[in-house]
Structure formats: C-alpha cells, structure tokens
Amino acid sequence: MKYKLTKKDENQVEIKVTLTAAEWEAANEAAYQKNKGKYALQGFRKGHVPRKVLESTYGKGVFFEEAFNDVFPEYYGQILDKEPSIYPVDRPDIDIEKVSDDGIVFLANVTVKPEVTVEEYKGIEVEKISYPVSEEDVDTEIEKARERVSRMVPVTDRAAQDGDTVVIDYSGSVNGEKFQGGTAEKQTLVLGSKQFIPGFEEQVVGMKLDEEKDIDVKFPEQYTPELAGKDAVFHIKLHEIKFKEVPEVNDDFVKDVSEFNTLAEYRADIRKNLEEQNAKRAETEMENALVDKICDKTPINIPQAMIESQIDSMIQEMQYRMMYQGVKMEDYLKYTGTTMEQLRESYQEQAKKSVKTRLVFEALIKQEKLEVTDEEYEQKVSSMAETAKKDVEEFKKGLPERQVEYIKNEIVIDKLFKLLKELNPVKE
C-alpha cells in the first residue's frame, strides 16, 4: 500500500491510497470465500461455483463492494496509526479513482479536527464578582429547615383555608356532559397553589369535612381546544383537610435540626456555609468569563460534524435525564410541539460554544506543556478513596481505564485554570 496526504483546507485532508494488484486480488479472494456460499449455478453445487465462473456470469466486479468494504477500514486504520496528526471527526467521503489489473486507487476525503493556536490568553482583565450574604439569605435557609421538619396536621374543627392541603373527589361537566380528564377521586390539592384552573381552588376554600357542592368555573382561552373558553361545573366532595405545622425558630428548634445549641451559633454556621458557596459561585463565574474572553479572541473554523456530534451527546444526556423521570423523548416532543430537527437546531449555539471551548483548552494544554505527574495522580486518587471510605490500592484497582483518563484530564484542567488565573489578573 502507498498513500499520499494532501491538505485541502484547515479542516479537510485528502488521502490518496494505492493498493497493488496483489493486495487488491487478496481482498477480492477474501470476499469470494466469504460469500461463495450464497451462489448456485446449474452444474455446480451451492457454494462450490468457481470464482471465475461467477465473475463471468455476474461481471468482474461482483465482489467489488464486499472487497472494498472489508479492505478500506484495514488500510485506513493503518494510515491513521502512522499519521497521528490526522484526527478524523467524521466518516470519510470515498471516491474510487481507478480500478485495473494493476490494483485500485481511491481517495478518502477526511474532515479533521482543526489545528488551533491560542495567541491571546495573557493579560486579560476580568471583573471581580462577589455575592455578599444578607440576613435575608440566612432567614431563607432557616425557613427551608423549618419546611423540612414540618408536619401535616389533620383539621376537624374548621373549614378549609388558603394554604391548607385537602383531599377531594371531583367530577366536571360541560353542558351536562362529562369530559375526559375531568373526574378524579381522592385528589390531593394545596389550596392557593394554582394547580387547578382559575376559580377552582378559591371555591374549595370554606368547604367543611364531608361537604359536597357544585362550583362554576370557566376554562382559560389558552387551554385544550375542546375545552378552551367553555363554562364548566364541577361537583366536589371534600374528604380531608390538613395544615402544615412548622416549628418556631428558637434554641429548641436549633437543637433538633443541627449540632448547635443556640440560634446565634446556628445562624453563624449558615452564614459561613453560604459565604463559602457564594465564593465558589463567584470563582466559577469569573473563570467562565475569562474562558469566554479567550475563546472570543481565538478564531476557529469548527467543522459542522463536530457540532453535530456534540448535539448528539447533549440529546443523549437529555434522554437519560428524562428516562429517570419516566418520560420518553417522543412524548416530550409531542407535548412541547417540537420536532427533533427543531430541538437539534436549538442546541446549535450551545454545542458550538462547547466544542470551541474544548478545542481552546486542548490547544492551551499543548502550548503550555501541561501534564499530570504520577504524584498528582496519586494524590487525587487517594483523596477520592478517602471520600469513598475505601482502601487506596483497592480503589485504584477498581478504576476502569476510562475513569483513569477522566481523573487525569480533571487534574490537567485544574492546572490550566490555575495558570490562567495567574496570567490574568482580576480587576478589583
């Protein structure tokens, strides 16, 4: 095999491959041996028709497609192994240039990852970001804690009020006819949540246990076509009334929900945690701002194939998330009135930005010769093992190769961010 590389543009490489007569003959013979069992001709047992007979009957190129499909990946792989600078990002386009007794010549037009050089990544000013913690922020966290330890208390001595949780039966009708989805039993409803159509929850307020009544409502204009704008009557029966009891905020509450004894200690700890969270948030946003500025200063002609591949990954991740929620992609598209083409289009810019960021990172890591030392890897793995409460050596043995590469990449990225922050001051 001989081959010649020709760079057509920054993202396209043409590989001209020449196979000798012997190499091409071997491929055709292999294709014949693999497929001869499919053929039967008069005078020959099935699978025993000589190759020359088949070629004279069906044409000399009868095994061409099979032979080429087998031989191309083999030689293409050999070339890529010899040429590490060629990084394909899509399947190559193939053109057969010549087939003769001397062999075969074909062209593989390959879309490759662009070569990126980042020139402007030093001395870039980034505005300082900070998120001070207010007393209201602390109050909000305490309120969340109150909600977590709250309990539902049955009500027997009063009517339902706004904010109560009720259990009801309801049956709806329009012009005396029941409609699909308008009937339910033992339905839980938080009054004031606006879970139901306007006017529904408001009329449940004031009902007592075991009371039944009809309520009149009007469906919104922006509703399902068969019900939009129509007047409806719902027959309601109220089974249960409960209200949420939340504890008073005092030292006793603090002892129940934390390791502290006083409200003052509890508030101080919440403030400390919020300040740490806000500092990390600010740091992340400043890092992202710096990366965005570097990317903006680095022009890259990104092959569409790389963007489409990133969109594939994003949609796959989306499908995984929905799967855990019990939602199918086809149902999501139906509910949102979206086509797959529209969904992919909506991801275009995000995918392009993600690919560009990755290319810039790879270029900077290469330019700055950032590598992971054995010591850095050992420290990272030891920390992970400690978090997982496992023996370090046992933990290391259980790491698949993919996870090892992920960990090393994480270390390199951390080193890159550290370097970039040293090279680019934060403007106070």
Contact 193, 283 (CB under 8 A): no
Same structural domain, 56 and 185:
no
Residues 194 and 341 grouped into a single domain: no
Residue 313, both tokens: 């990954």
CATH assignment of the domain containing 236: 3.10.50.40
What global pTM score does this model have?
0.74
pLDDT of amino acid 415: 95
Q: Are residues 215 and 343 in the same domain?
A: no
The mean per-residue pLDDT over the stretch 102-115 comes to 95
Domain boundary among 111, 135, 168: 111
284 and 176, same structural domain? no
Q: Between these two residues, 407 and 46, which has the higher pLDDT value? A: 407
Domain match, 226 and 292 both: no
Q: What CATH number is given to the structural domain containing 38? A: 3.30.70.1050
First to last CA, the chain: 62
Which DSSP state fits 412? Answer: H
Rounded mean pLDDT of 70-89?
Answer: 93
Of the ranges 221-230, 271-280, 367-376, which one carries the lowest mean pLDDT score?
221-230
CB 40 within 8 A of CB 46: yes
Number of domains comprising the chain? 3
Query: Is residue 85 pLDDT above 90, yes or no?
Result: no
Share of the chain above pLDDT 90, in %: 84
Alpha-carbon gap, residue 168 to 235, rounded angstroms: 10
**Residue 197, in any domain of the structure:** yes
Q: What is the pLDDT of residue 60?
A: 85
Statement to judge: residues 167 and 77 lie in one domain: no
Q: Residue 42: which pLDDT band, with cuts at 50, 70 and 90?
A: confident
Range of the domain at 186: 151-245
Q: What is the mean pLDDT of residues 345-362?
A: 97
pLDDT(189) > 90: yes
Residue 340 domain-assigned (yes or no): yes
Instruction: Please tell me whether residues 268 and 413 are part of one structural domain.
Output: yes
What's the CA gap between 205 and 196, in Å, rounded? Answer: 13
Q: Does 397 share its domain with 275?
A: yes
pLDDT at 224: 86
More confident residue, 425 or 273: 273
CB 160 within 8 A of CB 188: no
Angle between helices 263-296 and 135-148 (to 10 degrees): 110
Do residues 315 and 338 touch, judged by C-beta distance below 8 A?
Answer: no
Tell which of 218, 245, 272 closes a domain: 245
> Would you state the pLDDT for residue 81?
94
CATH number at residue 296: 1.10.3120.10
Q: Does residue 428 surpass a pLDDT of 80?
A: no
